[in-house]
Amino acid sequence: MAPMQEHSEVVCEVCRAQLGKIARARQLTDLELSILNQPKREININIPLRMDDGSVRIFPSYRVQYNDSRGPFKGGIRFHPNVKRDEVKELAFLMALKCSLTGIPFGGGKGGVKVDPKQLSERELQRLSRAYIREYADFIGPFKDIPAPDVNTNPKIIGWMLDEYEKIKGVKAPAVITGKPLALGGSEGRLYSTSLGGAIVLREYLKTIGKNGKDVTVAIQGFGNVGSHLAKILHDWGFKIVAVSDSHGGVYNPKGIDTKKILDEAWSGKKLHQAVSHGKAITNEELLELDVEVLVPAAVENVINSINMKKIRARVILEMANGPLTVEADEHLEKNGTMVLPDILANSGGVVVSYFEWVQNLSGHYWSEEEVNAKLEHYMVEAFRETEAERKTEGDSYRRAAYVLAVKRILQAEEDRGNVVRKNGAGK
């Protein structure tokens, strides 16, 4: 298998394949397919930026607003040198599905700037962040489109963006963007919400097969914010973390890794493949092929593909990255009985807590960390149970059941608005 890549040409080939299967099985009309297959609006702005040395560089930027039938558009802004319009479009589609599946009143959106932020000074990064908001200020708003952090953006950058928007509009509007620092209206629990949501989904699935998670072996590929916090949560719940890796490689110990110690080392900047005192150094490819009960791809897309799919031995795959399985791998693993808990369910905890942040901003009433986590648990458990019920009724995989639920809700909203008419129960 090739080394882990940052991005590929197609982020969500699986979601397109699933949509096609749903369309054939449920006889969606051409209009319904058109609504699902294309975004409502795509915006592309080339941003000129004066650099510290006085030169001017042009940075291509994007915002895709996919569907807002269920509420304002919602989705992150990523800064990455490989950002492309098609990638942003696919991610906006995924976000629409996540919001629909979890029952939060948002549509799907996504944004990005084609830039390597590591090549910018902090002053240049701040100017670029503010420039993005200036260019898109008329397209976003608390009841129109609410951005958030994504790859290479963080609460500091979001704080700059909020400040710029408020200067332009001349009002305080914390609900325009989520993922903010706490002092600017951010939510407690947001930092690890994606990880906690995934842990809850895994726990609920294990209940259906009579397991409680104690000593269940887990391998996690990707040890950024999501993977590292997931390791901590699962360890605290009694799971046995036997392997973890970052982009350079990782470490494996069949007896279990001292998660607290390796987290301290990772968060202090140490690379995981150097942490040999915890176990045997392994590559990312080797981690994916370990004989474990739960495999968590939490890094990038398409890491499980036609090359390695027959070597995957995990009984359960928890998709914490977007699109970690190719279509071919997804179909192969489904036929072979591997249970895949799909990304639109497993990694949706972050957008749920973003919704909580938006609600708190609008009301001016802020919740404790315990309240946020309790509400997140309610939403994630409900989303899992509804997906499980759909799966049992239709005999589908978890992925197809999740897509069917999400699509149903989007099309119901479109029908209730009078935008589509579903004849003879089509799509229901």
Q: Return the closest-CA partner of residue 287 out of 258, 255, 245, 248.
A: 245
Q: CB 274: neighbour CB atoms within 10 A?
A: 12
Query: Which residue out of 74, 110, 114, 180 is catalytically annotated?
Result: 110
Burial class (CB in 10 A: 0-12, 13-18, 19+), 393: exposed
In sequence order, the 6+-apart residues with CB closer than 8 A to the CB of 84 are 7, 9, 114
For 346, residues 6+ apart whose C-beta sits below 8 A from its C-beta are: 197, 198, 201, 202, 318, 319, 320
DSSP H stretches of helix in 308-368: 327-335, 343-346, 349-363
The yes-or-no answer on residue 110 being catalytic is yes
CA distance 14 to 18: 6
Cβ atoms of 80 and 152 closer than 8 Å: yes
Three-state DSSP class for 313?
A: coil
Structure tokens at 219: 């391998």
Counts for the chain of helices (H) and strands (E), in that order: 14, 12
Q: How far apart are CA 340 and CA 31, in angstroms?
A: 31
8 Å CB contact between 187 and 356: yes
Residues labelled as active-site residues: 110
